[in-house]
Each structure stands twice: as structure tokens, then as C-alpha cells.
Amino acid sequence: MPDSVSLAALQAYMPGFCRACDLVIAPSEGMREAMRRFGVDVDIDVVPNGVDLQPFQQIEHPIDRSSFGFETSDVVLIFVGRLGAEKNLTFLVRSFAGTAQAYDHVKLLLIGKGLSETTWKTRLSGRNWRATCALQAWYPTTKCHATWPWVMHS
């Protein structure tokens, strides 16, 4: 979908949707301002997500995206969390499949562990997924911090 169509759809959808909610929250002041730009005209409470961003801002040894099989030019979408049925990863992967068909160089990286880990390793190891998806076991906190910079700064 072209960006102009996506923007128009969000601007048409967001204000009405938010007016129908009892409470609208944003994880930061910047997101509140972005919602305002989309035409949201109701009160928006900022509730920080509780993630300390400091460890992500100065990374000494970032992990190179090539270690996951991605190219420098790839746009990498990342899910970090527990791999469980309630996370609805099926929806995420199906949505990603459509995105990958529409745009070149879009990749998906799932980082996590959980009851569904074996299932997802099997599903994503298939011939059709190997070129666009990677599943990485959960890193200890110090290594998990190192996974972000190559997505944010390359």
C-alpha cells in the first residue's frame, strides 16, 4: 500500500476509533504528538512502557545483521518476546507474508523462547520462509541489548 494511502487510512480511522475508547494511552510524549498529527482529538495519557532505554543507546559490540542472514539493505521487522500461542504469532507471520510479497528486502526476526519455539522453528525452516525469516533463541539481557543497534543504525 502506498504511504499516502496508509496515512490517509490512519487519519480516517484513528480519531473515530479513539473517541470510542474509554482511555487512550501513548508510551511517550512523542507518540502522543504523532497521534495528534493523525487527528486524535481526545485526551491521551502518557504511560511509559517501563523499558530503560539507556542500555540501547550506547552499544559497545553490536551484533551484525549478517549473523542472522540479513543484508545491509534489508528492512528488518523484529518481534522480541515469549513465543506462546497467546502472542498470536500466526497473525504476525501471515501479515508479514503479505508485506514481504509487496516490498523487496523486508525481513522478519523473531527473538524469544517459549512453548511454541519448536513449532516456529519447524514452520520457518521451510523453503518458502528461509530467505525472509529468522528465529533466534532468547539472548541474555546483555546480548539482547546488542541486537538492536544494527536495526536502528544501519
CATH number at residue 101: 3.40.50.2000
Element (DSSP H or E) covering residue 78: strand 75-80
How many CB atoms are located within 10 Å of the residue 120 CB?
Answer: 19
The letter for the amino acid at 41 is: D
Q: Residues 69-80, buried b or exposed e (16+ Cβ, 10 A)?
A: ebeeebebbebe
Say if residue 75 is in the same domain as residue 138. yes
* CB of 50 closer than 8 Å to CB of 25: no
Say if residue 79 is in the same domain as residue 119. yes
The whole-number pLDDT of residue 101 equals 82
Say if residue 100 is in the same domain as residue 143. yes
Say if residue 34 is in the same domain as residue 90. no
Task: Return d(Cα 116, Cα 81) in angstroms, integer.
Answer: 12
The whole-number pLDDT of residue 136 equals 65
Task: Return d(Cα 111, Cα 82) in angstroms, integer.
Answer: 8
Say if residue 80 is in the same domain as residue 19. no
* CB of 138 closer than 8 Å to CB of 111: yes
Say if residue 16 is in the same domain as residue 74. no
Say if residue 41 is in the same domain as residue 105. no
The pTM is what? 0.56
Say if residue 77 is in the same domain as residue 133. yes
What residue numbers bound the domain in which 10 lies? 3-46
Count: domains in the chain: 2
The whole-number pLDDT of residue 46 equals 95
Say if residue 16 is in the same domain as residue 80. no
Cell numbers for 151, please give them. Answer: 536495526
Say if residue 121 is in the same domain as residue 103. yes
When pLDDT is averaged across residues 111-139 and rounded to a whole number, the result is: 70
Say if residue 115 is in the same domain as residue 69. yes
When pLDDT is averaged across residues 111-123 and rounded to a whole number, the result is: 80
* CB of 75 closer than 8 Å to CB of 100: no
Alpha-helix runs per DSSP H in 42-88:
54-57
When pLDDT is averaged across residues 70-77 and rounded to a whole number, the result is: 86
| 8-state DSSP, 80 | E
Say if residue 139 is in the same domain as residue 69. yes
